[in-house]
Structures are given as C-alpha cells and as structure tokens.
Amino acid sequence: MSTSQADRRVGEIILPLDRIAVVQPTTLLKTTLETMARFRLGIAAIVDDAGKLSGVFTDGDMRRMLLRDQKPFSALFADDIIRHATRNPTVVGPDASLAHAIALMEEKGIWDLPVVDDTGRLLGLLHLHPAIKAVLGL
C-alpha cells in the first residue's frame, strides 16, 4: 500500500448523500429495502429531521432480523426501519485517513462506514471498493 495514497482523507472519496440510501427512522422497512435496491448498496443510513445519523440498516441487520423476528412478512414490511436498525453504528469523520478507515472496516467486519461531521450530521458513505481503488491509485 502506497503511504501517500493511504494518507488520503475519507472526505475525498465518500459517496455523497444523493448516491446512497438515506431514510428516516419512521420509513417503512419495505420502502427502505426498495431504496437500498435502487442504490445497489447493502446499507441504508437513517437520519433524523436535522440530518443527524440515527442508525444504519444493513443486509446483515436484515439476516438477523429474519432469524429473530418471526412475524409475517406483511407485518415486517410495515415496521418502522429504526426498529430493526443498528442504532450506534461505527462512523468515521471526513478528515480521517483512508488507512484508518479501512483498518476500522476490517476490525468491525463491515464494508461501509457512514461519514459524519462533528455534530453527527451525515455527510455521506465510505464504501470499501472506492476506498481500495483510491489506495491503489486506480
């Protein structure tokens, strides 16, 4: 890994808000899944009215939900997404280095990191693939 590339800042390569699934805590699970499918990402960021990150919902959350919460699909689809979300997700700031962010993803076993500012407002998403491409200088 090139040191200079790995020192690049997260903020340089994040996916902006219009390229990721962003929903509200009361968005229905069904609508959240549709939004995630539209952006072809396994994560939805959940933000409150002020744009602050309230949690994330991922493909992993969905797997765990299906095994744990055995109510009918029609009832699951009508749930508020926050009910099934990870409420205190791992996040990173825009000034963190890519090396730090990738190490964090490896440590947590995740592919995406929400990027937030000092107040917790969502700025975008660091996805593993663009992060690796940036490190490799591709």
Partner 1 sequence: MIPKTITVGYDNKVRHVVIGGMEPLAFIGGPCAIENRDHAFRMAELIGAVCAKIDIPWIYKSCYDKDGRSSPDSFHGLGMEDGLAILTEVREAFGIPVVADFSDVAWAQATGEVCDLVQIPAYLCRQTTILRAAAQTGRPIHLKKGQFMSPWNMKNSVRKIEAAGNHQVLLADRGTFFGYNMLVNDFRNFPIMAETGYPVCFDATHSVQLPTSMGDISGGQREFIPYLVRAAAACGINALFMEVHDDPINALSDANTVLDIKYLERILAHAKAAHELRLELLEKWGEDDVHLPS
When binding is defined by CB under 8 A, the residue of 13, 53, 84, 131 that contacts partner 1 is 84
Interface with partner 1 (CB under 8 A), residue from 19, 63, 83, 108: 83
- Cα–Cα nearest to 5, from 93, 96, 94, 97: 97
Find the part of the chain contacting partner 1 (CB under 8 A) among 37-45, 47-55, 79-87, 120-128. 79-87
Shortest CB 51 distance to partner 1, Å: 21
Give DSSP secondary structure letters for 20-88.
Answer: SEEE-TTSBHHHHHHHHHHHT-SEEEEE-TTSBEEEEEEHHHHHHHHHH--S-HHHHHTSBGGGGSBSS
49 binding partner 1? (CB under 8 A): no
> Would you tell me which residues interact with partner 1 (CB under 8 A)?
26, 65, 68-69, 74-75, 78-79, 83-84
